[in-house]
Structures are given as C-alpha cells and as structure tokens.
Structure 1
Amino acid sequence: MDELPIGRRVAYWRGRRKMSQQVFADRLGKSKSWVDKVERGVRRLDKFSVLYEIADILELDVQLLLGKDPERRTDALNCIDQVEVQEIRAALERYDSISAYFDAAPYPPPLTDLRKAVTHAWLTYQYGRYGMLTRALPKLLRDAQAADAGHEGEQSRAAAHLLGQVYQIASSVLRKLGECDLSWLAADRSIAVAQRADDPLLAGIATTRVCNALVAMGRPRPALELNVTIANRLAPGGSNDATPERLSVYGMLLLQGAMAAARVGDSATVDDLINGAWDAADLLGGDQNHYWTSFGPTNVELHRAAAAVELGDGGRAVQVHEQRIQEPAFNGLLPERRAHHLLDLARGYAQIGNLATAGEMLLRGDRLAPSEIRCRPIAHEVMADILRRTRGAPPSPVAELAEHMGVGV
C-alpha cells in the first residue's frame, strides 16, 4: 500500500475502521465533501496537525498515512515540533472578538460540542498526553475563539468561560514543553477572558498560570507578589463563601506563590504559604479537582516536597515523600500529578547524591506519563546530571530511557 496516494490511504484505513465518510468528517470537524475530495486526491493533505488528528481518529501511527513503516516511536519524538509551535502561535495571534465587533461573526461552534472538547483537552493534559494535546490545540483554540466572538446574550459568558479554559490548557502544556513566551501569552489572554466571563475563581486560577509562566521566564518575584495579592482577594471569610471551588482556587494560589518564593530562596514565606494551603485543604476534606486544580491535602504535600527541591534541600523532599504522603491517596491522583512529583523526587535524590534512586524515580514517572519525563526540559537536565555523575555504565533501563529521551552524557 506504500505506493498509494495519501488520500487513498486515508480511505483505506477509514474503511478498515468501518467508519462512513460522514462519521469520519464529523469527528474531524470537517464536511463530508472535504473528506471526499481528500480521499479522491482533489484536495491536498499537507498540514501535519491535520495528519496527526486523522491518525488519532483512525487510531494508527501517522507513519502509515505517510506510506512509511511505523517506527518504534518514543514520546520524545511526539512532544512538539516547530510546525506545531507555529500553528499554536498562529491560533493565539487570532483576534476574532475584535473582528466580530466590526463585522457579523461567523456561525460559532455549538457550546455543547465545545464544552465536551474542552473537558477532553483537560483530561488529555492531566493524563500527561502532551503530544496529542499540542496537535489538537490549534483547532481547539480557533473553535473557542470563534465561539467567544459569535455567541451573544446569556451564552456569551459561557463561551468566554470556555475560551478562558482553553487558554489555560495551552499555557500549562506550553510551559511544560519549554515554550515559555507562548505560555505567558496564553495565560495573559486567559485572565482578560475570565473577566468577561464574570467568574472571579476562573480569573484566580488564570492568575496561577500567569505566575507559573513568569517563574519559568525567570521572574519569580512578581509572580510571588501577584499570587499572594489575588489569594488575599479570594480568601474565604467575610463576604467570600468557603465553597469547595473557592477553597481549591485559593489553595492553588498559595501553593504557586510558595513555589515562586522557593525560587527566590525565601524559605519562611514558603512555609507560611504552604501552611495556609494546608488549612484550605483541611477544610476541603480531601483531594478534589475543582477548576481542574487537583487540589487537596495530597497535592499540598507534593508542593511541599517540590518547594524543598527548589530550595536545594533534596533530603527534606525525600522526607516529605516518605513521611507525609500516603500511598493510597497518591495513587488516586491523575498521572500528570504523580509523574510530576516523581520528577521532583528524582531531582531531590540527585541533590543528595542518590543517583540510583533518582534514576528509578524517572523510570517510574515514565511508566506513568511518558511525556512528563521525555518531553520536559527539566527532566532532560536531571537525566544528563545522573549520567554525568554515575560511575561506570548506568543501569540498562536508565540508559534505555536516556536514549529514548535523546540525552547523552
């Protein structure tokens, strides 16, 4: 089948999946006519983002669509490339809302469909599938922007809320992958949209995305100040109720403020903010996921360990893990949170010279959420440090993971 045109290969695999042109078009967000033209070779299929989306829908390796033998692909090869970065950048550079101010907006996507897509994107992020998410982001951004520009009346706030969430998703995954300038842009947009959505809690959690991007760009002090300022505005008490949603957003503002304080070496502020977050988590009563925060007692302890690593106290991070984090509760968290913590632990063990256990933490994280280990620049730094300081050859599983990550001594 290698000699077939790409459109014929799409038709072949669509048939193998027993999917009609109409069903395939609906899942792709295209018209049946578009699919028919692609399959007949009348329309070229030359955008990598569309190819990847087709491959995801047909549940096959994109290499098969390109007429090549599928390789043993690692997640590192599937994180994000410059074509995808440029497509996300182009989507972030759209200004549908201002265009709609002067001209009639196009038919916006139905909010029911968009809400499902946003929920799917959040879960894709929280399961650590960053490659799949970055390929879907350009279309999701365009759809959310069109909905925000096109809906009016009561639906306007709902559309703005969804767009604000999409910007937050984009900011979070772009920061993970080292695209800090785009992460800051998306986070900044999310704050403005949250204000139009008239949701202070959405604006509060958007603030944490801005501050995370600032810390990643080497600006932890303004990040600390902003987190604390907004946390004080949203704190339960007085006219502010103590709903689970408010406690979760307030707690995350304190935790992200603690991480910024750790970056500037202010251990006293770290302790104050984490203790405040612990009080909020205690009132919440358990680990929950309001506003996609994964906030609760266990997440507070994960941040306590992460802050210790940022302060250079790997021994303290290991102690927190062994004495304060309950295994059943930890195992109940979503993969991104657990793998992120294992990466922090790897850094902590490396700080105290336990390179073998540091490597094991990376391996455990890779089994949970490969993208969290193979795609993040900080994970590459940890692996390079382990390889450089290990006497003799590293254990074969660690060496194999390093090869998949593209990390050498």
Structure 2
Amino acid sequence: MTEKMTIGERIAFYRRRRGQSQLVLAGLVGRTEDWLSRVENNRIELDRLSVIRRIAEALDVTIGDLVGEPTLLDWTSDSGVRTVPALRAVLMDYSQLTPLLAVATPDGEPPSLDAVERDVSQVFDAYQSSRYGYVAGRAPLVLSDALHAVSTIDASDSNRAHALLALAYQSAVSVLTKLGETDLAWIASERGLAAAQQADNAVVLGSLFRSVAHALHSTGRFAASVQLTEAAASVLEPHLSSRADDALLSVYGTLFLNGAVAAARADDRGSVTSFLREAHDSASQLGRDANAMWTAFGPTNVAIHRMTTAMELGDVQVAVDLAPRIETTGLPTERRVRHAIETARAYTARNRRDDALAVLLDAEQLAPEQIRHHAISRQLVLNWIRTARGPRSIALEQLAQRLHLT
C-alpha cells in the first residue's frame, strides 16, 4: 500500500493510523509541528536514519515501515520464482532447533565440502556483483546443502563444514538485509554465529560477528551494534599480530567500518572517530585495497565510510567535498554503487539534483538490481518526482518507471 509513498508520506499515513496529531508526534521526537508538517509534505528531505528511528519508535512501527522495506524482488532468469520465501522455509525449519527434533537427512549423497565451498563462493561473488536475484535464488539451496553436509560429515571435517555453514548463513544475511527482510536476517545471523563458534576459525568468527552487527543495525538497534563491535573486536584482538594475514585484517577492519556507521546513526561521534581510526590502521597495515572474505576492505573503503558517516552525522558539506575524491573503480560493483547512492544523497542535500540524478543513472548502468531495491535510491527518486519544479525530466520519469515507483 505504501510502496509508492515517500518517507514523509508514510509518516503521515502511520501518524493518522495511530490517531496522533502533528503536534503530539513532533513533541515525542523533540521537533516542532512546523518541521513535521514540512516533512510530511515533502518540503524537507528526511534521510538521517537516527531521526527516522526516533519517529518509528514514537509511532510503534519499524524503520522498514517508514523507508519502504521490504521490497518485492523481481523475478529474473537468475532468481527463478522461489526467492525470499524459499530462504524463509530453510530458516524456519524446526528440525534445526535441537537434535531432539531432528528428522532423517535428505535422500541421496550429501554434497562434498568442495562443492559447498564452490557454491558459497559463487553466491558471495554474485552478491558483490549486485546480482540479488541470483543470490536470493541460490542461497536457499546452498544453505540446505551446507546443513546436509554438517549433519553427515566425519568428525575430522567438522570444523570446515561448520565454517562453510556459517558463511552460507552469512550470504543469506547479506541479501536479506538488502531487501529489508530484517527479522529473517537476524535469524540467519544468529545461526551463522552459532556455526562459526564450532568452526574454530577466527576469520570466519569475525566475519559472522560482522553479520550479527549488520543485522542489529538493519533493525535500528544502532547502539547495540556499536556495543557488539567493541565486544567482537576484543574477541578478535588476541588473534592479531604484526603478521596477521589479509583475511583476518580485512574482517577486523570491516567490523569497525560497520560499527562506525552504526555509531553515526546513534549520534555517537566519539565512537565514529575511534572506529574509523581502527579501520584506517588495519587498512594501512594491509597496504592496499583487497577483497579477502569478500570484504572489499582497504584504504578506499575506509574513505567511503568517512563520507557515509559524515552524511549520517549531518555533516553534509564534508560528505559533498569527500565524494568526488574517492576513486572506486577497483572495488566490487556493490561497493561502487553503494558509494554512488551516498554521493547522490549528498548532492541532493545540497540541491544539486541534476548531479545526483546523473550519478544514480550511471550507477544503474552498473547494477540495476541494486538501484531498484535499495531504500535510499528509491526514496531519492520518489522525492525528486514529488518535488519536481520547472521543465520535465524525461530521464527522471523513466528511472521512476524502471523502479516501479510510478
């Protein structure tokens, strides 16, 4: 019902459903009635998640309700016709809860661990290429195979099997958070972390810490995500040394990047500064942009997060100044397009809509699925359409149609 509404229009919709006046809701979030009126009438761009979270709490709805998530994943040749519901079926299989409820393993030979490892890698590679349909279509099958492998594997291969199961869960978390399926993402992250703890592998454990933090973050629990970042870092630190390998450095550094964004959305400037410093130190030790454990970690990703956190803290001009200085060509598609979305958001906040639209159109050429399904890109286009002035923009109207917003 609310898919084609802006955030402001959704706030008005849910406020009326709750029987609240603008004066009451504005007071609950520490703003004026005039400010809320301008938000609901699309005269103010409401793009800081810290503010959206406070409004969501006052209305007793989720952040996803206000930003328009989850989104319907289009069927493609990559995805087939079984996507998120198939993932839900695997995650809600009661037999996983306890050995007491275990059922007979599936018929046929269990997949080899080499085959599971190959399939997990292919899903992560597809995610970094922004092929969300492929990930959503394949992840349920890969997760089922990983579960089957763990249930039948010899004890000697137990660590490897549990590591692969943890990563299969992480691949599910990645796409579910992108699509706004936050409750399912939390289930997957929790089970993935449980598997990682049985793998005896610090890199995999760190990677799943990142998934849990991301799942917390996606539900608006920003302060909890900050706390988890600190706790997870303390667990990983004993495994670090002056000769830590690329994978461990990358996982450790990326954990702080995620934590920095959560801290910014919690209005915790101190933690933002501290986390970015830790990430910078890890990137300096790594010495280059890399992609160990599909992290895309390195100096460039740290720079991207400096810009993202500036936007989240309301330091718009800092973000606008940083954006064009960051060269992302060497990064995976998902990271390049995510930076483009943030750049478009920053330009919009400075009333440079033509520049923002140009950036978004270029990004769409790289990753149409990512632009179609990301909440920020969808909200940008909706607001541009609603508040358009002057001559018609055919390019904007066509983009809105491709995003199914008109």
Query: Shorter chain as normaliser: what TM range?
Result: 0.7 to 0.9
Looking at structure 1, the residues matched to 114 and 310 of structure 2 have their Cα atoms a distance apart, in angstroms, of 43
Percent sequence identity is 36
**Structure 2: distance between partners of 1:137 and 1:159:** 16
For the Cα contact (< 8 Å) 2:240–2:248, is it kept in 1?
A: no
Partner deviation per Cα, 1:137-182 (whole Å, 9 max, x = no partner): 2211111111111112221111111111111010011100111111
Map of 1:337 onto structure 2: 335
Deviations 1:244-264 (A, max 9, x none): 222111101111110110101
Equivalent residue letter for 1:295: F
Match status 1:93 vs 2:92: yes
Tell me by how many angstroms 1:96 deviates: 5.0
Does the CA contact (< 8 Å) of 1:281 and 1:295 recur in 2?
yes
Q: 1:281 matched to which residue of 2?
A: 283
* Counterpart Cα distance in 1 of 2:399 and 2:243: 48
- Which residue number corresponds to residue 138 of structure 1? 140
- Residue 77 of structure 1 pairs with residue 71 of structure 2: no
Aligned equivalents of 2:239, 2:152: Cα separation in 1:
38
Kept in 1: contact 2:123–2:134 (CA 8 A): no
Structure 1's 266 and 400: CA in aligned 2 closer, same or farther, altered over 3 A? Answer: same
The answer to whether the 8 A contact 2:260-2:275 is kept is yes
Structure 1 distance, partners of 2:391, 2:136, is: 35
How many angstroms apart in 1 are the aligned matches of 2:74 and 2:260? 33
What is aligned with 1:155?
157
**Residue matched to 1:397:** 395
- Show CA shifts across 1:318-362 (max 9, x none): 211233x2x3xx101111110011011111111122111111121
How many matched pairs?
330
Q: 2:122 aligns with which of 115, 120, 137?
A: 120
Distance in structure 1 (CA, Å) of the matches to 2:159 and 2:144: 17
Native 8 Å contact 2:83 2:133 kept in 1: no
Q: Does the 8 A contact of 1:305 with 1:320 survive in 2?
A: yes
- Secondary structure of the residue aligned to 1:235 is helix
Q: Per the alignment, in what secondary structure is the counterpart of residue 78 of structure 1?
A: coil
* In structure 2, distance between residues paired with 1:349 and 1:285: 31
* TM-score normalised by L of structure 1: 0.75
Q: Distance in 2 between matches of 1:380 and 1:103?
A: 43
Structure 2 CA distance for partners of 1:102 and 1:359, relative to 1, 3 Å: closer
Q: Which residue of the partner structure matches residue 233 of structure 1?
A: 235
Q: Which secondary structure does the structure 2 equivalent of 1:197 belong to?
A: coil
Q: Deviations over 1:252-290 (max 9, x none)?
A: 111111011010112232122112211110110101111
Shift of residue 242 of structure 1?
2.4
Q: Which amino acid aligns with 1:229?
A: A
- Any idea what the Cα deviations from partners look like across 1:212-265, whole Å, max 9, x if unmatched? 111111110011000122113323787685222221111011111101101011
Distance 1:102 1:260, change over 3 A: closer
SS of residue in 2 equivalent to 1:331:
coil
On the 8 A contact 1:262/1:270 being kept in 2, the answer is yes
Report the CA distance shift for 1:368/1:134 in structure 2 as closer, same or farther (over 3 A): same
- Greater CA deviation, 84-93 or 218-227? 84-93
**One-letter amino acid matched to 2:91:** L
Q: Which residue of 1 aligns with 2:57?
A: none
In our comparison, the structure showing a higher alpha carbon Rg is 1
Aligned to 1:353: 351
Corresponding residue of 2:217: 215
SS in 1 for 2:74: helix
> Structure 1 residues 112 and 341, CA, compared in 2 at 3 Å: closer, same or farther?
same
Q: Secondary structure at the match of 1:208?
A: helix
Could you say if the C-alpha distance between residues 314 and 407 of structure 1 is closer, same or farther in structure 2, counting changes exceeding 3 Å?
A: farther
Cα distance between partner residues in 2 of 1:157 and 1:101: 23
Deviation at 1:87, TM superposition (A): 1.4
In the alignment, is the contact (CA less than 8 A) between 1:97 and 1:145 conserved in 2?
no
Report how far residue 394 of structure 1 moved: 4.8
Shift of 1:125: 0.4
Deviation at 1:209, TM superposition (A): 1.2
Quickly say closer, same or farther: Cα 1:113–1:265, change in 2 above 3 A: same
Any idea what the Cα deviations from partners look like across 1:358-381, whole Å, max 9, x if unmatched? 111211211111111101223211
**Match of 2:231, SS?**
helix
Cα distance in 2 for partners of 1:255, 1:236 equals: 20
- Matched to 1:387, the amino acid is I
Equivalent-residue separation in structure 2 for 1:240 and 1:198 (angstroms): 21
Greater displacement, 185-194 / 151-160? 151-160
Q: Give the equivalent residue in structure 2 for 1:21.
A: none
User: For each residue in 1:89-139, what CA deviation from the matched residue of structure 2 results, as whole angstroms up to 9, or x when unmatched?
Assistant: 111123358459967745321111111111111111000000121111221
Q: Any gaps of 5 or more consecutive residues in structure 1? A: 1-74
Deviation string, structure 1 residues 304-328 (Cα, Å, up to 9, x no partner): 11111212223211211233x2x3x
Q: After alignment, is 79-88 or 379-388 more displaced? A: 79-88
d(CA) in 2 for partners of 1:314, 1:81: 41
Deviates more, 1:104-113 or 1:255-264: 104-113
Letter aligned with residue 352 of structure 1: R
Higher relative contact order (CA 8 A, sep 6+): 2
